[in-house]
Amino acid sequence: MTNGAAALALPLAKVGEVGESFFHHRTSETLPCQAQSSHLFCFDWAKENIDSFATPTQQHLELVLFSIFAGFVVAMALALLAHRRRWLQAPLLAITGVIYTVPSIAFFFLLLPVTGLGRDTVIIALSAYTLQIIYRNAIAGLANVPAAAKDAARGMGLTETQILWRVELPLATPEIVAGLRVATVSTVALATFAVFVNAGGLGVKIYGGGNLTFPTSIIIAGGIAMLMAGAFHMALVGIERYATPWRRAAAA
């Protein structure tokens, strides 16, 4: 697959020209509105082809869910580790921060020799991106737990583990969920790049057509991605509200 990596650099640079050689051969599709390229949105085409968005949408959703799940588990493990061993906090923040700065496409290609084309590469890269945000928020949330509550908990005979599960984590929930929310929304957007390592997703309908001058498919796919991000956002806001009834009570 190493030569594949080299070949992949091309469609990024001149994606319009190399449509034929791209992974998804979709040139057979007729583009009814092509005659007038000024058309921003072609309803006829949309009506005819809307079914073809189902599979990419499902793939996209799966990529996001797997990536977020993996990222959350790893980031929380790191956060809890750093919570117990304070000296780890700064180095872990630096490491996850460096990962966060790697350009996403470059990350995919760096992983290609190891994990090859396909889903694994995408999930590893996308979950790695979530680490920084989730880790940082979890650390902040745990640090914001009132010292008096912890002192009282210890003084009343809660063990360290009980303090973590019954006091610290519940009180850090708002920050943790906020981190998860930001991470999820950005992952929905980043997952459109999955198409470049042959892992499907809505990117297929954005970059995959080989014709970036035909905007209808891009608008639909982009719209679905935005709706998906919005739905995740709302769901997580709902979960946070449900999980933290005391915050509403305090605000009332």
Partner 1 sequence: MPEPKVTEQSSSPAASSVRYENATKRYGGSAEPAVEGLSLEVPAGEVCVLVGPSGCGKTTAMRLVNRTVELTEGDVKIGEESVRERDPARLRREIGYVIQQVGLFPHRTIAENIATVPSLLGWKKERIRARADELLELIGLEAELAGRYPAQLSGGQQQRVGVARALAADPQVMLMDEPFGAIDPINRERLQNEFLRLQAEIRKTILFVTHDIDEAIKMGDRIAVMRKGGKVAQYATPAELLMAPADEFVEDFVGADRALKRLALMRVADIDLWEAPLAHVGQATAEVRAKLEGAEVPYPLLVDSERRPLGWLSQRDLAAETVPAQPDSPLGPLLDRDDVMRDALADLLQGEAQYAAVTDHGGRIAGVLSVEIISEFLGSPQAKREEHGAGERPR
Burial of 90 (0-12, 13-18, 19+ CB in 10 A): exposed
For the CB of residue 174, give the shortest distance to partner 1 in the complex, in Å.
10
Q: Point out which span in 12-20, 87-95, 116-124, 142-150 binds partner 1 (CB under 8 A).
A: 142-150
Q: Point out which span in 66-74, 88-96, 104-112, 240-248 binds partner 1 (CB under 8 A).
A: 240-248
Q: Output phi, psi for 55, to 5 deg.
A: -65, -50
Nearest Cα residue to 70 out of 118, 111, 131 = 131
Question: 3-class DSSP state for residue 159?
Answer: coil
Q: Is 40 in the site for partner 1 (CB under 8 A)?
A: no
- In terms of CB distance, is 78 or 171 closer to partner 1? 171
Rule CB under 8 A: choose which of 16, 91, 113, 146 binds partner 1: 146
Which amino acid, one-letter code, is at 76?
M
Rule CB under 8 A: choose which of 171, 199, 206, 218 binds partner 1: 171
Helices (H), ranges, 14-103: 43-49, 54-84, 89-101
* Pair of tokens at residue 249: 């009570």
Q: Is 159 in the site for partner 1 (CB under 8 A)?
A: yes
- In terms of CB distance, is 118 or 170 closer to partner 1? 170
Rule CB under 8 A: choose which of 73, 152, 226, 227 binds partner 1: 152
Q: Is 154 in the site for partner 1 (CB under 8 A)?
A: yes
Phi-psi domain of 132 (left: phi exceeds 0; alpha: psi -120 through 50; beta: other): alpha
* Pair of tokens at residue 20: 């034929």
Q: Is 149 in the site for partner 1 (CB under 8 A)?
A: yes
Q: Is 82 in the site for partner 1 (CB under 8 A)?
A: no
CA 108 to chain centre: 14
- In terms of CB distance, is 35 or 148 closer to partner 1? 148
Burial of 87 (0-12, 13-18, 19+ CB in 10 A): exposed
Torsion of CA 157, 77, 174, 182, to 10 degrees: 170
- In terms of CB distance, is 176 or 194 closer to partner 1? 176
Q: Is 242 in the site for partner 1 (CB under 8 A)?
A: no
For the CB of residue 135, give the shortest distance to partner 1 in the complex, in Å.
22
Q: Is 144 in the site for partner 1 (CB under 8 A)?
A: no
In a 13 Å sphere around the CA of 12, the CA atoms on its Cβ side amount to: 15
For the CB of residue 68, give the shortest distance to partner 1 in the complex, in Å.
25
Binding site for partner 1 (CB under 8 A): 146-159, 162, 167, 170-171, 244-246, 249-250, 252
